[in-house]
Amino acid sequence: MQVFSTPKTIKENSSFTFCPGCDHGVALKLVAMVLDELNLQEQTIAVASSGCSVLLYDFLDVDCIESPHGRACAVATGIKRAHKAQGNNKFVFTYQGDGDFASIGISESLHSALRGENITAICINNTNYGMTGGQMGPTSTLGQITSTSPLGRNKEYHGFPIKTAEHIALCDGASFSARVALYDVKNIINAKNTIKKAFEYQKEGLGFSFVEILSSCPTNWKLSPQDSHKKIEEELSKTYKLGIFKDIKNE
Amino acid sequence: MSEKQLLKGNIAIAKAALNCGCSCYFGYPITPQTEIGEFLSLEMQERNLAYVCAESEIGAINMALGAASTGAKVMTSSSSCAVSLMQEALSYACSDELPIVLVNVMRAGPGQGYIFPSQGDYNQSTIGGGNGDYKIIVLSPSNVQECIELTYKAFYLAQKYRNPVILLADGLLGQMAEPAKLFDNPYPNIDNTSWILNGSNGRKSRSIHSLEPSQLKLNQHIFNLHKKYQAIEQNEVDYEEYLCDDADIIITSFGSLARHSKAVCNHYREKGIKMGLFRPKTLYPFPYKRLNELSKKTKLFIDIEMNLGQMLRDVRLSILSNAQVSFIGKPVGDWLKKEELINAIDNIAKEQYASI
Amino acid sequence: MNKSFIISGSGGQGVISIGQILANIFMLSNKFVSFCPCYGAEMRGGAVNCEINTSDSELLCLQNEKVDFVIALNQASFDKFLSKVKENGTIIVNSSLAKINKTRNDIKYIFAPITQEAIKLGNIKMTNSIALGILSKLIGELSIDNIKKAYERILKNKTELIQKNIEAYLFGFNSI
């Protein structure tokens, strides 16, 4: 029998404030588990962003700074480099939504990857702006109905969505770029291993590592948690293919 | 202490920053301040310090925000229209209480304007373009020696009050050269070990954030910031007074333009007219109190700026109805020359005093 | 002694360099001095100028309506800055690149074929130092030691170049 306990890096007595059925909780728990396993808790500075991911510091028991919307990778760059200039090697990662990372912050995100900043970015892709009530975002799929694309995302009218992990993979400074999902146990285990790999690449000083996590948003998708996961398995993971798009060790 | 060198304002600022331990610089090129980043690029790389050619001013100021959270001495520099891009992060830095030194070498605006000098960012700096109740300390050098002195002071005040500080220079001062001494930083280092983010090793984890869902707590936080600003206003007001004690007319003027204003004072003093100069060195906190005292015994104030009357608002708020306030200004370009100012003042004075 | 100078010409004529050297000379003579260059996009247009002011007391006027001395190294600068010369002031004009033409009778004109002289000395790049030599003769009271030191500050350890420039400077100095 396996006994599950709360990871050390999750704050005691904290309760997630995410919507019921949202995958943020699972993703955060995986991040915490990996920080535990790699013994990183006490040398980590996490960068939270705007959106559903903003309350990171309420849950994770690590040093944490909140970044202006979209600027998490720039803030992380400053933290990592400032510590390096003082002779310290700290572990720095961002935890952002897809709107934060790939829309308002795409400049900061891409340039951090291009410069090969030795940081890790975790991007929760739930294909909409969740916190403000489900508006069309950069990752909303063609045909997706949101509060600002009530007739469905239309390529002629709204334009195309972005495949973030593939874009990051094109950056020479990126060491690792992958997309994972959390719709079943097998995928959750894979997601954890992938996050671990991304964190290890930073530890090894290989450059920018990136994990995009396809994540459910039952509230705004107006689906049950089960149907949300089914949607990810059957639809989203066809548009946003799961897998590793760049691995500097396999080149 | 080194001997005098002929130093450009921009280079003086960069050298002073290095001299007082600035370990992080993030920037994006814009005339007329680009030499700061150019000079620091080699110097900082050779010292293994943090230097990033940022993708934008938004990137630069947010890198500064992150770096400041580690307790490092952090600087970014830019000019006018690009400082506009930094307003969001400055508001965050105030709420987060992060010490960042921002050098704004003012150029002409509004919009793209042009590269020639101006003092058009007085309002942007002292009032700010960011959201919420916040204040940024603003220092105004008038010569290259003061560029050095006030860069040291900017780093010190930023650390002392955990608040952004703007060093507000102008294109003329940034580009001009004059003899200056690169003396040692006179200020002590401030202990920051109680708040910096360096990993929770052996202590409780910390967070730095401006989001606060509790009304009560958010109000308390802003009241606390306000108390800090009151302390700044109490302790840090700085100004130069030149022949103000017996003056019938006082010119108010800031930055390098105040030197032309001083030349004007000398001109009138030689003619037996009692004129003085009042030059704020801190634009925030503004020396309201001292200017108010002076206004009780001086009949006429003439505010001179290279803009259309931005500091004028603070001058009027100091003087209230105690004395007359006139204004001479020009938005951008060549500084108002001594002769132009004398002509303008003769006209103002004629209206005020038949005897001149 | 309060004196003001404008040095002007086209890009590549060493306008900024002799401006800085002149400012250094004044600094080394324990004078207050300011050096204000035109900058940025203006420079790419080909026209370059700088204004130098010196004073025995705190230097206050960084930019003046009119100045005591103008050096104009080409026709465009001659045209542009003639009106900036004070009454009884002096303009030094490079007659190799500007027409000899006296339209004001309240100032002193010095026309010298500076570019041709530089070519005769073996290096067209010495134009600026010859002009500075001429200017120095008119100002007087500058010590040759400080002039050498000023060149060393600007040209660092390029010994041969410093020597050549000082020769050109002295040529200019002795030419009037």
Q: Backbone phi, then psi, for B325, in 5-degree steps?
A: -125, 120
CB contact under 8 A, A63 and B197: yes
Give the residue among B118, B122, B181, B179 at the shortest CA–CA distance from B152.
B181
C91 and C107 in contact (C-beta within 8 Å)? yes
Distance between CA atoms of C114 and C120, rounded to whole angstroms? 10
The answer to whether C and A touch (≥3 CB pairs < 8 Å) is no
pLDDT at A251: 84
Expressed as residue numbers, the domain containing A129 is: 24-250
Residue A34's SS3 state is: helix
- The helix or strand, by DSSP H or E, that contains position B264, with its residue range, turns out to be helix B257-270
Distance between CA atoms of B154 and B160, rounded to whole angstroms? 10
- How deeply is A145 buried, as exposed, middle or buried, from its count of CB atoms within 10 A (0-12, 13-18, 19+)? middle
- List Cβ neighbours of B336 (8 Å cut-off, separation of 6 or more): B257, B260, B304, B306, B328, B329, B330
User: How far, rounded to the nearest angstrom, does the alpha carbon of residue B51 sit from its chain's CA centroid?
Assistant: 23
Interface test with chain C among B3, B4, B5, B6, by most C beta carbons within 10 Å:
B6
- Nearest CA-CA distance, residue B144 and chain C, Å: 10
B37 and B202 in contact (C-beta within 8 Å)? no
- How deeply is A119 buried, as exposed, middle or buried, from its count of CB atoms within 10 A (0-12, 13-18, 19+)? buried
The complex scores an ipTM of 0.95
Distance between CA atoms of C51 and C37, rounded to whole angstroms? 6
CATH class of B4-187+209-235: alpha beta
Report yes or no on A15 lying in a domain: no
pLDDT at A217: 96
Residues of A in contact with B48 (CB under 8 A): 85
In sign, the C-alpha dihedral spanning B115, B116, B117, B121 is negative
Distance between CA atoms of A60 and C133, rounded to whole angstroms? 72
CB contact under 8 A, B262 and C41: no
Question: Cβ of B115 under 8 Å from any chain C Cβ?
Answer: yes
Question: Cβ of B2 under 8 Å from any chain C Cβ?
Answer: no
Residue with tokens 């959106």: A51
- Nearest CA-CA distance, residue C10 and chain B, Å: 19
- Which subunits sit against C, judged by 3+ Cβ pairs under 8 A? B
Segment 30-89 of chain B within 8 Å of chain C by CB: 31-32
Domain containing residue A145: CATH number: 3.40.50.970
Report yes or no on A188 lying in a domain: yes
Residue with tokens 């946003």: A240
Hey, which bits of B253-319 come out as E strands?
275-280, 282-284, 300-305
Residues of B in contact with A49 (CB under 8 A): none
Q: What's the token pair of residue A241?
A: 């293919």
A67 and A75 in contact (C-beta within 8 Å)? yes
A106 and A73 in contact (C-beta within 8 Å)? no
- Nearest CA-CA distance, residue C25 and chain B, Å: 10
In sign, the C-alpha dihedral spanning B211, A75, A65, A32 is positive
Give the residue among C124, C122, C137, C139 at the shortest CA–CA distance from C169.
C137
pLDDT at C40: 59
Q: Which domains, ranges and CATH numbers included, belong to chain C?
A: 3-174 (3.40.920.10)
- List Cβ neighbours of B224 (8 Å cut-off, separation of 6 or more): none
Segment 103-162 of chain C within 8 Å of chain B by CB: 153
In sign, the C-alpha dihedral spanning C57, C61, C66, C69 is positive
Segment 12-41 of chain C within 8 Å of chain B by CB: 20, 23-24, 27, 32-37, 39-41
CB contact under 8 A, C41 and B266: no
CB contact under 8 A, A71 and B70: no
Distance between CA atoms of C130 and C30, rounded to whole angstroms? 24
- pLDDT exceeds cutoff 60 at C43: no
Distance between CA atoms of A135 and C125, rounded to whole angstroms? 65
CA distances from B219 to A115, B133, B320 (A): 40, 11, 31
Banded pLDDT at C1 (limits 50, 70, 90): confident
- Nearest CA-CA distance, residue C122 and chain B, Å: 31
Residues of C in contact with B176 (CB under 8 A): 34-37, 62
Show the CA angle centred on residue A139, arms to residues A138 and A140, nearest 5°.
100
| Local structure of residue B56 (DSSP, 8 states) | S
Q: For A66, which of B26, B72, B210 is closest by C-beta distance?
A: B210
Nearest C-alpha in C relative to B335: C63
Residues of chain A where predicted confidence (pLDDT) is lower than 50? none
- Nearest CA-CA distance, residue A129 and chain B, Å: 18
Cis-peptide into C37, omega within 30 deg: no
pLDDT, tens only, B66-102: 999 999 999 999 999 999 999 999 999 999 999 999 9
Residue with tokens 């948690």: A225
C17 and C56 in contact (C-beta within 8 Å)? no
Residue A43's SS3 state is: helix
Interface test with chain A among B195, B209, B212, B214, by most A beta carbons within 10 Å:
B209
Residue A63's SS3 state is: strand
On the CB side of C74, CA atoms within 13 Å amount to: 13
Residues of chain B where predicted confidence (pLDDT) is lower than 50? 1, 355-356
- List Cβ neighbours of C78 (8 Å cut-off, separation of 6 or more): C72, C91, C93, C98
- Nearest CA-CA distance, residue B63 and chain C, Å: 27
- Nearest CA-CA distance, residue C41 and chain B, Å: 8
Helices (H), chain C: 15-28, 41-44, 75-81, 114-121, 127-139, 144-155, 159-174
Q: What's the token pair of residue B156?
A: 């010190």
CB contact under 8 A, B176 and C40: no
CA distances from C159 to B80, C129, C148, C150, C164 (A): 42, 15, 11, 13, 9
Q: Which long-range contacts (CB under 8 A, 24 or more apart) does B350-356 make?
A: B352/B299, B352/B300, B352/B324, B356/B273
pLDDT at B355: 47
Give the residue among B234, B328, B284, B351 at the shortest CA–CA distance from B128.
B284
Report yes or no on A14 lying in a domain: no
CATH class of B240-352: alpha beta
Segment 235-264 of chain B within 8 Å of chain C by CB: 256, 259-260, 262-263
Show me where the domains of chain B are located.
Answer: 4-187+209-235, 240-352
pLDDT at B3: 87
Distance between CA atoms of A49 and A70, rounded to whole angstroms? 7
Q: Chain A interface residues facing chain B, Cβ-Cβ under 8 Å?
A: 11, 41-45, 47-48, 54-55, 57, 60-68, 71, 74-86, 88, 90-91, 107-108, 111, 115
pLDDT at B353: 62
For chains A and B, count residue pairs whose Cβ atoms are closer than 8 Å: 146
Report yes or no on A237 lying in a domain: yes
CB contact under 8 A, B177 and C153: no
Report yes or no on A7 lying in a domain: no
The answer to whether the B4-187+209-235 and B240-352 domains have the same CATH topology is yes
Query: Is the pTM of the predicted complex or chain greater than 0.90?
Result: yes
Cis-peptide into B32, omega within 30 deg: yes
Distance between CA atoms of C13 and C20, rounded to whole angstroms? 14
pLDDT at B356: 43
In sign, the C-alpha dihedral spanning B64, B65, B70, B73 is positive
- List Cβ neighbours of C15 (8 Å cut-off, separation of 6 or more): C7, C8, C9, C48, C49, C50, C73, C128
- The helix or strand, by DSSP H or E, that contains position A247, with its residue range, turns out to be strand A243-247
- Nearest CA-CA distance, residue B146 and chain A, Å: 28
Q: Backbone phi, then psi, for A124, in 5-degree steps?
A: -85, 110
Residue with tokens 């060491």: A175
Nearest C-alpha in C relative to B4: C27
CB contact under 8 A, B115 and C40: yes
Nearest C-alpha in C relative to B30: C40
Nearest C-alpha in B relative to A44: B199
Distance between CA atoms of B216 and B196, rounded to whole angstroms? 25
Question: Cβ of C10 under 8 Å from any chain B Cβ?
Answer: no
pLDDT at C11: 87
Report yes or no on A9 lying in a domain: no
Report yes or no on A153 lying in a domain: yes
Hey, which bits of chain B come out as E strands?
4-8, 24-27, 50-53, 74-78, 101-108, 114-117, 137-139, 165-170, 177-181, 207-208, 239-242, 249-252, 275-280, 282-284, 300-305, 324-329
